[in-house]
Amino acid sequence: MNTGFFGDIKKIKYEGPESTNPLAYRFYNPDEVVAGKRLEDHLRFAVAYWHSFAWPGGDPFGGQTFERPWFGDTMENAKLKADVAFEMFSLLGAPYYCFHDADVRPEASTFAESAARLDEIADYFADKQKKTGIKLLWGTANLFSHRRFMSGAATNPDPDVFAYAAATVKKCIDVTKRLKGENYVLWGGREGYETLLNTDLKREQEQAGRFLSLVVDYKHRIGFKGTILIEPKPQEPTKHQYDYDVATVYGFLKKFGLENEVKVNIEQGHAILAGHSFEHELALANALGIFGSIDMNRNDYQSGWDTDQFPNNVPEMALAYYQVLQAGGFKTGGTNFDAKLRRQSLDPQDLLIAHIGGMDCCARGLKAAARMIEDKALSGPLEERYAGWKSAEGKAMLSGKRTLEEIAERVVKKKIEPQPKSGRQEFLENVVNRYV
Ligand code: XLS
Ligand code: NI
Ligand code: NI
């Protein structure tokens, strides 16, 4: 069945870099083998249900700009939305999608009724997944839009909200498992605070720790094999979000003994909001052993908001995928476009064009990264820079075989006077430029 929403547009094909067809891939050829793997299997693209199908185009100064035939809060609308969504995934050849409960079903007046509606839509999705081969990258719960969550979900001062949030996450994990989701994401949209005048920070941290422990325990008891991911973000909507950045999340996981259970979903725009580069967050997650997945959407660098734009900066993306490849590539994770159109981009075609552009840029970035790795363009100079640590004395100092006094004694005896060496930053930047 075809809804007709996209008119007579056919499946988007790879036409190569010379093509001027806006509805074709110029760099993303899913079957192209790069570093021993098909591009589709490297990149594992996912479309975010919320931005493309649930968001009405509002901004702080104005409401809905998009007119979509499925807008409205009936189950018929929800099913039409699903029909169009799967049509778009298929047209794009996007292998995965992601959703929140609130994106896919209208909320009812009781928890039980909302849950039943989610089940009904999950059955509808299951059928579509089977027919199309499209898979669920991750499921998640929206614990931030409804007013009941205004003071937090797990970190709410009211234990009833904690319980409601727990029941919601349980339901969403059940549905994610049923749909064979490969991950489950927790983004703490209201887990933070506006002012310490009304906030018991220590207690709220304990609540968040307990909540996550309950989730991990449940995952194991039902045999959900997917990865639990936390998505860090420093602020917005709350002034101070608890899951500030990768380092903060790691400290939190360590405190509650969950560092081997939970990984991170790193969003490009959130990294920037936290005052980091995307590649910093990726490299750190890899170094700490918690790299999981990415949300590949950028912010406007001037506005300071999480504007969730489709990515288009290939040199930046090459450095990001360089870190992804250094981490061994995605295991259960993937490249989710947590990105929305600009509110003036009204046409159905705009949805396709935005994703095509994003996917093409990712493909270019990944290919550049793979070539840099193959040529040891950066790893060669890096190895050289740290080569001194291969010496017997270097190894002895690091392995705990020397005391501070012994090290000091050797400096005097051997008359050690270190000679500074160039960090060669400009040389390395020029090297990167050859690949992008
Ligand atoms: C918001 C987040 C959100 C998560 C999923 O800034 O990026 O969209 O990815 O809840
Ligand atoms: Ni975001
Ligand atoms: Ni996100």
- Tell me which of 302 and 72 has the higher pLDDT: 72
Residue 267 CA to ligand 3 centre (angstroms): 6
pLDDT digits (tens, 9 = 90+) for 33-45: 999 999 999 999 9
Confidence label for 305 from pLDDT (cuts 50, 70 and 90): confident
Is the Cβ atom of 182 under 6 angstroms away from ligand 1?
no
**Domain boundary residue, one of 353, 374, 395:** 374
Ligand 1 atom with least separation from CA of 233: 6
Ligand closest to 187 (CA) is 1
Q: Say whether both 259 and 393 belong to one domain.
A: no
pLDDT digits (tens, 9 = 90+) for 116-163: 999 999 999 999 999 999 999 999 999 999 999 999 999 999 999 999
Among candidate residues 357, 374, 391, the one where a domain is terminated = 374
Residue 1's pLDDT is 65
Identify the residue whose C-alpha is closest to ligand 1 atom 3.
187
- Domain stops at, among 322, 346, 374: 374
Best mutation site among 295, 308, 337 for ligand 1 pocket (most ligand atoms within 8 Å of CB): 295
User: How many domains, the chain?
Assistant: 2
How far, in Å, CA of 265 to CA of 253, rounded?
14
Per-residue pLDDT of 217-244, as tens digits, reads 999 999 999 999 999 999 999 999 999 9
State how far the Cα of 321 lies from the Cα of 283, in Å rounded to an integer.
Answer: 10
- Which pLDDT score, from 0 to 100, does residue 335 have? 99
User: 54 and 68 share a domain?
Assistant: yes
What is the pLDDT averaged over residues 397-403? 97
Percent of the chain whose pLDDT exceeds 70: 100
Once rounded to an integer, what is the mean pLDDT over residues 193-215?
98
The reply to whether 292 and 387 lie within a common domain is no
Is the distance from the beta carbon of residue 340 to the nearest atom of ligand 1 less than 6 Å? no
22-31: string of b/e by CB count within 10 Å (b at 16+)?
ebebbbbbbe
Give yes or no: residues 104 and 169 share one domain: yes
Q: Mean pLDDT for the chain? A: 98
C-alpha distance from residue 89 to each of 48, 134, 278, 335 (Å) = 10, 8, 26, 14
- If you average pLDDT over residues 2-8, what whole number do you get? 96
DSSP reduced 3-state for 341:
coil
Q: What is the pLDDT of residue 303?
A: 85
178 with 112, same domain?
A: yes
Is the pLDDT reported for residue 427 higher than 70? yes
Domain that residue 212 falls in: 13-374
Give the dihedral sign, CA 276/280/286/292: positive
* Contact status, residue 191 vs residue 201, Cβ threshold 8 Å: no
Residues 63-108: tens digit of each pLDDT: 999 999 999 999 999 999 999 999 999 999 999 999 999 999 999 9
293 CA to middle of ligand 1, Å?
Answer: 13
* Total residues found in the chain within this entry: 436
Give the distance (Å) from ligand 2 centre to CA of residue 410.
52
Confidence of residue 212 (pLDDT cuts 50, 70, 90): very high
Catalytic residue positions, numbered = 100, 103
**Predicted model pTM:** 0.97
| High-pLDDT (> 90) share of the chain, % | 98
